[in-house]
Amino acid sequence: MHELSLAMSLVDLAAGCAREAAGAGTGGGRVEAVHVRIGALTGVDGDALRFAFDAASDGTPLAGARLVVEHVPVAVFCGGCGAERTLDEPFRLRCPVCGAPAARVVRGREIELAALEVSEIVSAHR
Amino acid sequence: MSPRIVEVRRNVLAKNDALAARLRRTFAAAGTCVISLVASPGAGKTALLAETLRSLRSRRRAAAVVGDLATENDAARLRESGAPVRQITTGTVCHLDAEMVGRALEGWDLASLDCLFIENVGNLVCPAAYDLGEDVRAVLLSVTEGEDKPLKYPVIFNGADLAVITKTDLIGPAGYDEALARRYLDAVRPGLEVLRVSAKTGEGMPAWLARVEAALVQKRTAGLRA
């Protein structure tokens, strides 16, 4: 449900980054794709986010861009083992090796704009 | 020509997080302890909050903001406690965000408040992602909802500081297995602090109020040290 709010924030952020990239001379063309990283603990559904992104980007410079979602599994730091562990089942926050409660979530909470794919400027302006 | 990849690595909720951080600084400067309540619709957020505001009235200056899609009903109900209350109506939005809370607080002298409660929109999914600058996020689960809410909506329970089992007066009639609910809570968030209350009979209210008081004292002490 909140994927639409997230998609609107994402479109704002990505459009801003595309403008910055254009200003810095590292982009400036059309945004072909938007890459995001979504942690398993965020409760964000990839398909719903893609659907919302298409709606939210309509009429913006990002219209027509693909949304590429990378799912980030949950990783915790286990104090008992002194090691980082990736969880197969994201919502049982215990070390999969020793069973101790996970001291700290290292990854899996991110909702991150990772990268933009920008097409080269076709008509050079210099 | 092939597209060029521009690395960004920016948090999509950066704007909300920045606004929440600003709220947190404002609350810290004012010494106001902020406790948010999240739960599904009908879990008893408003009933617990109404009892809390009423109990605190004689000794603490407490206020509340309450979010719903529509109506001022909850604010009207909470104002019967005599505490200042503001309603946020979100329209279609299924959660509160830091900007809405900041707007609702405009013109309030926070320094005159010991404690501010934020009652989120009834929803166990969407509020999880949005930091509101609170000190304590309490998630409520009522006995009438069944024991397995934590397993069905793990994200919200995982991100909470405290769980409160509500409507404990209905444990018998609902055939509720409290031990099972606690096992499920512990599964999604090992070590999570769990309280139990009935706003109707008052059972568990002293422990809840003591928890509120502890958060309040901790905030005050941190403010004095800062």
Q: What is the CATH number of the domain that holds A57?
A: 3.30.2320.80
A117 and B95 in contact by Cβ < 8 A?
no
pLDDT, averaged per 10 consecutive residues of chain B (226 residues), comes to 86 93 96 97 97 96 96 95 95 92 96 97 91 97 96 89 98 97 92 96 98 94 76
Strands (E), B90-167: 115-119, 136-142, 162-166
CA distances from A79 to A113, A115, B74 (A): 30, 33, 44
Average pLDDT value for residue range A88-107: 84
| Number of domains comprising chain A | 1
d(CA B141, CA A20): 45
> Could you list the residue range(s) of the whole structural domain that residue A105 is in?
3-118
Q: Is B191 on the interface with A (CB under 8 A)?
A: yes
Cβ-count burial of B25 within 10 angstroms (0-12 exposed, 13-18 middle, 19+ buried)?
A: exposed
Task: Compute the mean pLDDT over every residue in chain A, rounded to the nearest whole number.
Answer: 88
Q: pLDDT digit string (tens) for A21-68?
A: 888 766 567 899 999 999 988 889 999 999 999 999 999 999 999 999
Separation of CA B164 from chain center: 11
Query: Residue A126: inside a domain, yes or no?
Result: no
ipTM of the complex model: 0.81
**Position A125 in a domain:** no
Q: In this complex, do A117 and B3 lie within 8 Å of one another by their Cβ atoms?
A: yes
Is residue A64 assigned to a domain? yes
CA distance A108 to A119: 30
pLDDT at B201 (0 to 100) = 98
Give the three-class secondary structure for B152.
Answer: helix
Residue A51 lies in a domain: yes
pLDDT at A99 over 80: yes
Query: Which residues, 6+ apart, have CB-to-CB distance to A123 below 8 Å?
Result: none
Question: What is the pLDDT at residue A126?
Answer: 45
Q: Does residue A118 belong to the interface with chain B, where contact is any CB pair within 8 Å?
A: yes
Strand partners, B5: A117
Q: Is A2 helix (H, G, I), strand (E, B) or coil?
A: coil
Q: Is 50 exceeded by the pLDDT of residue A19?
A: yes
B49 vs A91, more confident: B49
* pLDDT tens per residue, range A70-84: 999 999 999 899 999
Residues of B in contact with A114 (CB under 8 A): 7-9
- Which residues, including other chains, have CB under 8 Å from residue A57's CB and lie 6 or more apart? A7, A11, A63, A64, A65
Is A123 within the bounds of a domain?
Answer: no
- Please indicate whether, in this complex, the C-beta atoms of B12 and A10 are within 8 angstroms of each other: yes
Task: Determine the distance in angstroms separating the CA of B109 from the nearest CA of chain A, rounded to an integer.
Answer: 30
Residues A116, B187: C-beta atoms closer than 8 Å: no
Domains of chain B by residue range: 14-208
| Burial label, B147 (beta-carbon count in 10 A; 0-12, 13-18, 19+) | buried
CATH number of the domain located at residue range(s) B14-208 in this protein:
3.40.50.300
Quote the pLDDT of residue B120.
97
In a domain, A124, yes or no: no
Residue A46 lies in a domain: yes
Task: Say how far apart CA B20 and CA B26 lie, in whole Å.
Answer: 10
pLDDT band per the 50, 70, 90 thresholds, residue A91:
confident
Joined together, the tokens standing for residue A41 give 């603990």
Residue A69 in domain: yes
The answer for residues whose C-beta is within 8 angstroms of residue B95's C-beta and 6 or more apart is: A2, A5, B67, B120, B121, B123, B126, B127, B129, B130
pLDDT at position A123 over 60: no
Q: Enumerate residues 6+ apart whose C-beta is below 8 A from A61.
A: A15, A18, A31
Strand ranges of the sheet holding B193-196, from the earlier edge strand across to the other edge: B85-89, B62-68, B115-119, B33-38, B136-142, B162-166, B193-196
**Measured distance between the N- and C-terminal CA atoms of chain A, rounded to whole angstroms:** 46
Cβ neighbourhood burial of B193 (10 Å; 0-12, 13-18, 19+): middle
